[in-house]
Homo-oligomer: A and B are copies of this chain.
């Protein structure tokens, strides 16, 4: 079949008219569908209902605990929970701190700390002024939000199939004002790309000019596989050790997409020195996190990382058909027209769809008008500005498959329609 770019004007006009009538049919349905955020579905949430029963008062009384977890204290998290996350991340328990419900808060607070108190014995970033961050794009809007909140200048780093472009990064970090980088190294949000071994090694070996350069290694999807051929990410701390670079990275994760989003447990892993500095801030901020929720999670998984990993198989059963359905429809509806490109990920929560340059915003608008909400177009780039106006993040997890199919069908119509409009201009 001919690609849309090879269509004649008449062919375009005819396709456009056909698409418009399809679009209007959808619009008439009065849809109200949401593919905007990476929220687990009701079925996935139901999976974890047992978590609510796991720490009854009867159960609590039976436990023989080193201290009373109902009371104040144990700032860095209960040992059992630190151990559980340590095993998941492949680090030592003393290099893990358990946070509240959201890893985003742990990241925000860490950046706060760098801004106002400094890190690694250096001046606070706010005092240094003109601080910049590297942002692989497309990326996660909430990472960019933190930078924006603090006025940290963001520099786009293009992502390729191996992760961020390391040649550019290695060049840029010679600037002392470049203080860090936000990363989702596995099943990157939104591209679904996992950083290759070479990329991880090159990151670990970096020698940035700034002594207080810090990488936010947001390993949000560390065990969130979707296929039987999952990606493998090198253990960043194993690599960092080889270069004496352990202080350069702080790793984050949570159970938000394992148990309940917003009622889970977050964690960070870091070098001895970073742990010490983070603890020194935390002790001003709180007396303890929610140890009972930590205990609830530990008990629910019997304290074993292997049980958490096995649990992810059940999430996969819910999620994989949705990712399959979206990608199959893209293949069928968009593929022949050469009007968009995407990567079918082996895990994570998103599909990144690149439509024809200059049409992404229009696609978002068309979808919205027909009752389908996508992630705000542009949000996958710093300052909400996609320089090529082509990237759309698809979050297939929340809607049931039937709704998802409807929404994706509409999306495909909009992608083609916006392309026709653009080519006819």
Using a CB–CB cutoff of 8 Å, the interface residues on chain A facing chain B are 37, 39-40, 42, 45, 48-50, 52-53, 55-57, 59-61, 68, 70-73, 100-102, 104-105, 108-109, 112, 115-117, 126, 142, 145-146, 148-150, 256, 260-263, 281, 283-293
Contact = CB atoms under 8 A, between A and B. Distances in A.
Given A262-B291, A263-B290, A285 B68 contact: no
A381 to B, nearest CB: 17
Given A40-B71, A72-B262, 15 more contacts: A45-B68, A52-B55, A101-B286, A101-B289, A102-B288, A108-B286, A116-B126, A126-B126, A148-B284, A149-B284, A261-B287, A262-B289, A262-B290, A263-B290, A263-B293
Contact of A284 (B39, B56, B145): B145
Nearest to A40: B71
A377 to B, nearest CB: 19
A359 B150 CA distance: 47
Interface centre among A71, A150, A283 (most CB of B within 10 A): A71
A291 B352 CA distance: 30
A73 B262 contact: yes
A71 B284 contact: no
Residue from A72, A149, A292 having most chain B Cβ neighbours under 10 A: A72
Contacts of A146: 284
B39 A71 contact: yes
A319 to B, nearest CB: 15
A19 to B, nearest CB: 34
Contacts of A260: 70-71, 292
A366 to B, nearest CB: 26
15 contacts: A39-B72, A40-B71, A52-B292, A53-B56, A56-B56, A71-B260, A100-B290, A101-B290, A102-B285, A102-B288, A112-B112, A112-B116, A149-B284, A261-B287, A290-B293
A105 B262 contact: no
Given A53-B57, A262-B71, A286 B104 contact: yes
A48 B288 CA distance: 18
Contact of A262 (B104, B142, B287): B287
A283 B57 CA distance: 34
A116 B150 contact: yes
A161 to B, nearest CB: 30
Contact of A100 (B45, B101, B256): B101
B42 A52 contact: no
Contacts of A71: 39-40, 45, 260-262
A285 B104 contact: yes
A52 B45 contact: no
User: Which 8 residue pairs across A and B have the least CB separation, nearest first?
Assistant: A49-B57, A262-B288, A263-B292, A72-B261, A45-B70, A108-B285, A149-B284, A102-B286
Nearest to A72: B261
A39 B56 CA distance: 23
A309 to B, nearest CB: 22
Contacts of A108: 284-286
B68 A60 contact: no
Nearest to A105: B286
A126 B117 CA distance: 11
A293 B42 CA distance: 19
A207 to B, nearest CB: 30
A89 B285 CA distance: 23
A285 B102 CA distance: 9
Nearest to A288: B262
Nearest to A104: B286
B287 A104 contact: yes
A291 B287 CA distance: 21
Contacts of A292: 52, 260, 262-263
A376 to B, nearest CB: 14
A295 to B, nearest CB: 9
